[in-house]
Amino acid sequence: MRRIGCGREAKDAEFLELVSSRTGHLYRSACLLTSGDTHHAEDLVQEALSRMYVLWRRSAWTGGRHRIDNPAAYVHTVMVRTFLAQQRRRSSTERPTGDLPEPEGRESDSTLRLTLLDALGRMPAKDRAVLVLRYWEDRSVEETAEVLRASSGAVRTRTTRALARLRTLLGDSLAELVAR
Amino acid sequence: MSEPDKFEDDLLYAMTRTGEGFRTEQGELVAGGLVRGRRRWRRRSAAAVVSGAAALALVGTGAFYLSGSTGASPVASATIGAAAAPTATGTTGTATPTAAQSSAAAPISGGEVLATFQALLPKGQVTDAKGTGTDKDGGRTAYANLVFDDGQGKSLMGLSIQKHRKGQSQPRTCPADLKLASLDSCATTTLPDGSQLVLSQGYEYPNHRATTKEWFASLIRPDGGEIFLSEWNSAQEKGAPDSRPDPALTLDQLKAIVTDKSWDRVVAAVKYDGVDPAVEDPGLTPEEKQATLAKLLPAGFQVASARNANGNVTTYQVTGGQTSGGLIVRVDYWGRPYDDKDLQQRAEKDRQAMFKDATTLPDGTKVAVAAADQVNPKASPARVEVLRPDGLHVQVVNGPGDKPLFTLDQLKAIATSPEWKLKK
Q: Are A113 and B65 in contact (CB under 8 A)?
A: yes
For residues B216 and B254, give the distance between their C-alpha atoms in angstroms, rounded to a whole number: 7
β-strands B64-65, B125-132 pairing: unpaired
* A101 with B6: Cβ contact below 8 A: no
Return the pLDDT at B141: 82
Return the pLDDT at B302: 93
Pick from B13, B20, B167: which is nearest to A178 by CB?
A: B13
Does residue A30 surpass a pLDDT of 90? yes
* B275 with A105: Cβ contact below 8 A: yes
Pick from A8, A53, A85: which is nearest to B33 by CB?
A: A53
* A27 with B379: Cβ contact below 8 A: no
Is residue B146 a part of any domain in this protein? yes
Least confident among B291-295, B335-339, B346-350, B369-373: B346-350
The three-class DSSP label of residue A44 is helix
Residues 84-123 of A with CB under 8 A from B: 85-86, 89-90, 92-93, 101-113, 116-117
Return the pLDDT at B82: 33
Pick from B18, B167, B379: which is nearest to A113 by CB?
A: B18
Return the pLDDT at A96: 36
Summarize pLDDT for B55-98 with one digit per residue, the tens: 222 222 222 222 222 222 222 222 233 333 333 333 333 333 34
* B175 with A93: Cβ contact below 8 A: yes
Percent of chain B with pLDDT over 70: 74
Does residue B344 surpass a pLDDT of 90? no
- φ/ψ (deg, to 5) at B70: -90, 0
Closest residue of chain A to B404, computed from CA coordinates:
A179
Tell whether B20 and B150 lie within a shared domain: yes
Tell whether B119 and B173 lie within a shared domain: yes
User: What is the dihedral sign for C-alpha A127, A132, A133, A136?
Assistant: positive
Tell whether B367 and B337 lie within a shared domain: yes
Is residue B65 a part of any domain in this protein? no
* A49 with B36: Cβ contact below 8 A: yes
Return the pLDDT at B205: 66
Q: A98-107, B320-329, B396-405: which has the highest mean pLDDT?
A: B320-329
**Cβ-based contacts under 8 A for chains A and B:** 240
Is residue B421 a part of any domain in this protein? no
What integer is the mean pLDDT of A48-54? 86
Pick from A19, A109, A132: which is nearest to B30 by CB?
A: A19
Q: Are B310 and B287 in contact (CB under 8 A)?
A: no
Kind plus residue range of the DSSP H or E element containing B146: strand B142-149
Q: What is the least distance, in Å, from the CA of A154 to any CA of chain B?
A: 19
Return the pLDDT at B99: 39
Q: Which residues of A touch B170 (CB under 8 A)?
A: 39, 101
Domain count for chain B, please give it.
Answer: 2
Q: Are B285 and B363 in contact (CB under 8 A)?
A: no
Tell whether B165 and B130 lie within a shared domain: yes
Return the pLDDT at A93: 37
What integer is the mean pLDDT of A91-108? 41
Name the burial class of residue B55, with classes exposed (0-12), middle (13-18) and buried (19+) by CB atoms within 10 angstroms of its CB. Answer: buried
Q: A100-104, A106-110, B5-9: which has the highest mean pLDDT?
A: B5-9
What integer is the mean pLDDT of B178-189? 83
How is B196-257 classified by DSSP, letter by letter? EEEEEEEESSTT-SS--EEEEEEEE-TTSEEEEEEEESS--TT-PPPSSSS-SS-HHHHHHH
Q: Which residue has the higher pLDDT, A121 or B63?
A: A121
In 3D, which of B274, B25, B275, B271 has the Cα closest to residue B135?
A: B271
Cα dihedral angle (B265, B271, B276, B281), rounded to 10 degrees? 60
What integer is the mean pLDDT of A19-27? 83
Return the pLDDT at A1: 32
Does residue A6 surpass a pLDDT of 50? no
- Classify each residue of A54-88 as buried b or exposed e, where b means 16 or more C-beta atoms within 10 Å of its C-beta: bbbbeeeeeeeeeebeebebbbbbbbbbbbbebbe
Return the pLDDT at B51: 25
Does residue A173 surpass a pLDDT of 90? no
Return the pLDDT at A69: 65
Does residue A89 surpass a pLDDT of 50? yes
Return the pLDDT at B309: 64
Q: What is the least distance, in Å, from the CA of B371 to any CA of chain A?
A: 13
Closest residue of chain A to B59, computed from CA coordinates:
A39
Q: Which residue has the higher pLDDT, B138 or B332?
A: B332
Return the pLDDT at B388: 94
Tell whether B367 and B305 lie within a shared domain: yes
Pick from B8, B29, B399: which is nearest to A163 by CB?
A: B8
* Residues in chain B, total: 424
What integer is the mean pLDDT of A132-136? 89
What integer is the mean pLDDT of B118-139? 87
Pick from A41, A49, A179: which is nearest to B33 by CB?
A: A49
For residue A59, the 8-state DSSP code is H
Tell whether B138 and B206 lie within a shared domain: yes
Pick from A28, A93, A167: which is nearest to B7 by CB?
A: A167
What integer is the mean pLDDT of A143-171? 85
Closest residue of chain A to B51, computed from CA coordinates:
A86
The three-class DSSP label of residue A74 is helix
Is residue B76 a part of any domain in this protein? no
In 3D, which of B164, B151, B153, B146 has the Cα closest to residue B257?
A: B146
Tell whether B262 and B312 lie within a shared domain: no
For residues B289 and B409, give the distance between their C-alpha atoms in angstroms, rounded to a whole number: 20
Tell whether B212 and B291 lie within a shared domain: no
Residues 137-156 of A with CB under 8 A from B: none
At residue B402 the predicted structure's pLDDT band, cuts being 50, 70 and 90, is low
Is residue B66 a part of any domain in this protein? no
Q: What is the least distance, in Å, from the CA of B67 to any CA of chain A?
A: 6
Final residue of a structural domain among B269, B288, B314: B269
Tell whether B164 and B129 lie within a shared domain: yes
* A105 with B397: Cβ contact below 8 A: no
Q: What is the least distance, in Å, from the CA of A11 to any CA of chain B?
A: 11
- φ/ψ (deg, to 5) at A15: -60, -45
Return the pLDDT at B314: 83
Is residue B383 a part of any domain in this protein? yes
At residue B296 the predicted structure's pLDDT band, cuts being 50, 70 and 90, is very high
For residues A62 and A58, give the distance between their C-alpha atoms in angstroms, rounded to a whole number: 6
Tell whether B40 and B152 lie within a shared domain: yes
Is residue B103 a part of any domain in this protein? no
Return the pLDDT at A109: 60
Return the pLDDT at B199: 94
Summarize pLDDT for B212-245 with one digit per residue, the tens: 888 989 999 999 898 989 999 998 644 568 899 9
In 3D, which of B289, B292, B294 has the Cα closest to residue B304?
A: B294
* B60 with A39: Cβ contact below 8 A: yes
* Residues in chain A, total: 180
The domain in which residue B149 lies consists of 3-52+109-269
What integer is the mean pLDDT of A65-92? 73
Q: Which residues of B touch A109 (CB under 8 A)?
A: 17, 21, 65, 67-68, 79-80
Does residue B269 surpass a pLDDT of 80? yes
Domains delineated in chain A: 7-178 (1.20.140)
Return the pLDDT at B392: 95
Closest residue of chain B to A128, computed from CA coordinates:
B15
Return the pLDDT at B376: 57
Percent of chain B with pLDDT over 90: 37
Average of per-residue pLDDT values in chain B: 77
Tell whether B280 and B322 lie within a shared domain: yes
At residue A82 the predicted structure's pLDDT band, cuts being 50, 70 and 90, is confident
Is residue B22 a part of any domain in this protein? yes
Least confident among A110-124, A162-176, B49-63, B237-251: B49-63
In 3D, which of A134, A105, A174, A164 has the Cα closest to residue A32?
A: A134
Return the pLDDT at B378: 57
For chain B, say whether A78 makes contact (Cβ under 8 Å): no
Closest residue of chain B to A111, computed from CA coordinates:
B308
Q: What is the least distance, in Å, from the CA of A145 to any CA of chain B?
A: 19
Closest residue of chain B to A118, computed from CA coordinates:
B18
Return the CA Rg of chain A.
18
* β-bridge mates for residue B162, sequence order: B226
Pick from B36, B180, B400: which is nearest to A92 by CB?
A: B180
Least confident among A38-47, A52-61, B327-336: A52-61
Tell whether B280 and B334 lie within a shared domain: yes
Least confident among A54-58, A82-86, B56-60, B120-124: B56-60
What integer is the mean pLDDT of A115-141? 87
Final residue of a structural domain among B227, B248, B269: B269
* A39 with B37: Cβ contact below 8 A: no
Return the pLDDT at A68: 64
Return the pLDDT at B36: 81
Return the pLDDT at B93: 35
Return the pLDDT at A4: 33
Q: Which residue has the higher pLDDT, B316 or B99?
A: B316
Final residue of a structural domain among B253, B269, B285: B269
Does residue B251 surpass a pLDDT of 90? yes
The three-class DSSP label of residue B139 is helix
Return the pLDDT at B208: 61
* A39 with B14: Cβ contact below 8 A: no
Q: Are B3 and B55 in contact (CB under 8 A)?
A: no
Pick from A12, A42, A108: which is nearest to B24 by CB?
A: A42
Does residue A122 surpass a pLDDT of 80? yes
